[in-house]
């Protein structure tokens, strides 16, 4: 598939700035419809090349909920408190919260939560709960934490200790220990990553709890918020994976609803111990409810979309999705390494980290997220091995030394024109084999070495 035409995007963007009017000043709905149709064609094309961000882009299952867009739904106030406003979806919201409370093992009468607008709001709320419990507490977070953590520290004017990290992105527990001991006179508010944003590193909750204990912090002297934005719906369905559970002394957990689960609008789920939320709750006469949320008004459509998805996807389906993504992530890591590209994949992670490509056009086409000399691919449920094959083949650009392995001819070095011809021939063979319901073609393209000048 060819890349997205920049001129097409530019024309479309320019056309969106002003309403499209007829000569008489009335809206030209034919032109408006045409503009939106072109926009959806662009989205269809971009969706096939979204690899750098953790979004489950295929939302066809939610089309059945389109009639709900006729209604304005607002879930302001407490999800568990009835008020006089009837255009809400709080019952669906509570159903979603109950589902996650069971997943993370906390009793119904012991938890409180709500559907947030995004993962950042979950972090803001979790850290706020820690700050309210310990006004003089110090926030501890690793340098690989989401940018919203330092944003929260600035907003709440909290003292913050940034903890070093290991190569995997996981917290450096020796550094944590030294900083905890240095500040023993103040409570600790810890933000733990259950999958870091860039490398997918998982902070070890058990090691952190043991470190707190060894440093003399009793359970009434620390608060732990777990940021499980992506992995919160992966780890519970993998064997021998780290466990997120309120049976351990954590205060809150947040997860994104638009990532692994695939809700079409950004949203998240925040679950916390009810005893920590009470200090934050305020009675608001205007809405005839109490409120302990960050945002106040909250969209009522997202809870229904989340409820609908969880109702259709049983635990077995979620487990299959998680296993398939793990398998495909390993497939990509191996493909990159076989192509001569250094690549890293943490255990229980779907985020493959590797060397940053030189060409900005390639980065833009595949919508890669980059940091310094690294980039990554997040292998979400909608990502197929065919997409990954195309990505690896294209990632070499023109600065690639390639070999093709065949049963007949062994290993041979090829020029660029020959490479293009072989790639096209292999794709034709694959298509013919699939059409005949046979296995893939026997000949495999082996990319042996990338010669790229990385910044």
Q: Give the residue numbers marked as catalytic.
A: 349
Query: From CA 161, how far away is CA 179, in angstroms rounded?
Result: 8
Query: From CA 7, how far away is CA 112, in angstroms rounded?
Result: 49
Query: What residues contact residue 163 under an 8 Å CB cut-off, 6+ apart?
Result: 140, 141, 142, 143, 171, 172, 175, 176, 179
Q: Exposed, middle or buried: residue 31 (CB in 10 Å: 0-12, 13-18, 19+)?
A: middle
Q: From the centroid of its chain, how far is CA 166?
A: 21
Of 253, 374, 261, which Cα lies nearest the Cα of 313?
Answer: 261
Any bridge partners for residue 355, and if so which? 374
Query: From CA 199, how far away is CA 61, in angstroms rounded?
Result: 30
Query: From CA 98, how far away is CA 453, in angstroms rounded?
Result: 51
Structure-token pair, residue 226: 């777990």
CB 156 within 8 A of CB 129: no
Query: From CA 239, how far away is CA 167, in angstroms rounded?
Result: 24
User: In angstroms, what CA-CA distances link 83 with 45, 86, 88, 96, 289?
Assistant: 44, 8, 10, 20, 6
Q: How many CA atoms lie within 13 A of 226 on its CB side?
A: 30
Place of tokens 């269809």: 44
**DSSP alpha helices (H): ranges in 339-379?**
360-365
Angle between helices 29-47 and 6-15 (to 10 degrees): 140
Please state the φ and ψ torsions of residue 155, each to the nearest 5 degrees: -60, -40
């Amino acid at each position: 598939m060819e890349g997205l035409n920049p001129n097409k995007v530019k024309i479309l963007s320019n056309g969106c700035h002003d309403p499209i009017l007829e000569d008489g000043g009335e809206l030209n709905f034919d032109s408006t419809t045409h503009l939106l149709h072109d926009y959806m064609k662009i989205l269809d094309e971009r969706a096939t090349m979204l690899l750098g961000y953790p979004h489950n882009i295929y939302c066809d299952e939610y089309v059945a909920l389109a009639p709900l867009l006729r209604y304005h739904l607002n879930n302001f106030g407490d999800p568990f408190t009835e008020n006089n406003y009837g255009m809400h979806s709080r019952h669906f919201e509570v159903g979603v919260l109950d589902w996650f409370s069971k997943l993370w093992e906390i009793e119904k009468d012991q938890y409180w939560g709500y559907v947030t607008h995004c993962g950042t709001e979950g972090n803001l709320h979790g850290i706020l709960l820690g700050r309210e419990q310990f006004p003089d507490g110090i926030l501890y977070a690793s340098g690989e934490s989401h940018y919203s953590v330092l944003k929260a520290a600035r907003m709440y004017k909290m003292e913050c200790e940034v903890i070093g990290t290991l190569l995997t992105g996981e917290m450096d527990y020796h550094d944590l220990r030294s900083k905890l001991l240095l500040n023993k006179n103040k409570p600790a508010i810890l933000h733990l990553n259950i999958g870091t944003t860039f490398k997918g590193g998982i902070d070890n909750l058990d090691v952190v709890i043991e470190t707190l204990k060894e440093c003399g912090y009793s359970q009434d002297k620390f608060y732990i918020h777990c940021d499980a934005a992506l992995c919160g719906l992966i780890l519970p369905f993998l064997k021998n994976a780290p466990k997120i559970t309120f049976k351990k002394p954590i205060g809150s957990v947040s997860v994104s609803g638009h990532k692994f689960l695939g809700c079409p609008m950004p949203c998240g789920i925040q679950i916390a111990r009810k005893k920590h939320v009470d200090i934050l709750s305020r009675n608001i006469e205007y809405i005839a409810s109490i409120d302990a949320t960050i945002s106040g008004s909250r969209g009522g459509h997202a809870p229904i979309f989340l409820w609908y998805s969880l109702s259709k996807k049983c635990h077995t389906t979620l487990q299959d999705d998680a296993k398939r993504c793990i398998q495909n992530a390993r497939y990509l890591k191996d493909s990159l390494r076989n192509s001569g590209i250094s690549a890293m994949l943490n255990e229980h992670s779907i985020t493959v980290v590797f060397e940053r490509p030189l060409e900005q056009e390639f980065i833009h086409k595949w919508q890669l997220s980059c940091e310094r000399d690294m980039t990554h691919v997040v292998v979400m449920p909608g990502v197929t091995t065919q997409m990954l094959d195309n990505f690896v083949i294209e990632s070499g650009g023109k600065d690639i030394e390639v070999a093709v392995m065949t049963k007949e001819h062994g290993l041979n070095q090829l020029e660029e024109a020959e490479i293009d011809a072989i790639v096209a021939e292999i794709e034709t063979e694959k298509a013919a084999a699939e059409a005949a319901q046979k296995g893939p073609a026997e000949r495999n393209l082996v990319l042996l070495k990338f010669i790229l000048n990385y910044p």
